[in-house]
Amino acid sequence: MAQSHESESEKQARHERRHDAHLRATYAAFLRHLEEVSGLPRNLAECAAVSVLTTLERRVLPEGARNLEAQLPRLLVAFLPPPEERPARLQRFGREEFIESVAEDLKMPVDRAELVIRAVLRAFQDQITEGEADKFASNLPADLQALWRLTQ
């Protein structure tokens, strides 16, 4: 029986291929779930997820954003601006401004944007632990907490 003698670089390359495949599979599963929850086509579901996450993260402290990102698919987080390009301080806005911002970003009516936001938030919450969902919600103002909790 012949034994395989992989070099260190071959082992590293194999590990990286498996890691990349896992990242792609995790992201694809998230998008499929979001498509099911929202009824959106894949390209719009992906844009909506990025828009909602980007807008939501402007409203929380950087630590809260990092904790949320740690439980979301890495390839989704990769679409976000790098940390050094994000606002250093949280921006104060409420539910209406949040929905309007996402609606403008996705070029859709506000009433449709709210439904899309709810679907995206639900998909996010399905990806993270209940404890992280509660912790994240506690860092939001009451009107955004209500929107977050509507999806639970």
Residue 59 falls inside a structural domain:
yes
Residue 127 falls inside a structural domain:
yes
Give pLDDT tens digits for 106-149. 999 999 999 999 999 999 999 999 999 999 999 899 999 999 98
To 10 degrees, the CA torsion angle through 28, 32, 35, 41? 60
Residue 68 falls inside a structural domain:
yes
Residue 133 falls inside a structural domain:
yes
Give pLDDT tens digits for 38-52. 999 999 999 999 999
Residue 3 falls inside a structural domain:
no
Residue 67 falls inside a structural domain:
yes
**pLDDT confidence band for 1 (50 / 70 / 90):** very low
For residue 105, the enclosing domain spans 8-150
Number of domains, the chain: 1
Residue 1 falls inside a structural domain:
no
Distance in angstroms (rounded) separating the CA atoms of residues 120 and 35: 9
CATH code for the domain of 25: 1.10.490.110
CB 50 within 8 A of CB 147: no
What's the pTM value of the predicted model, to 2 decimals? 0.85
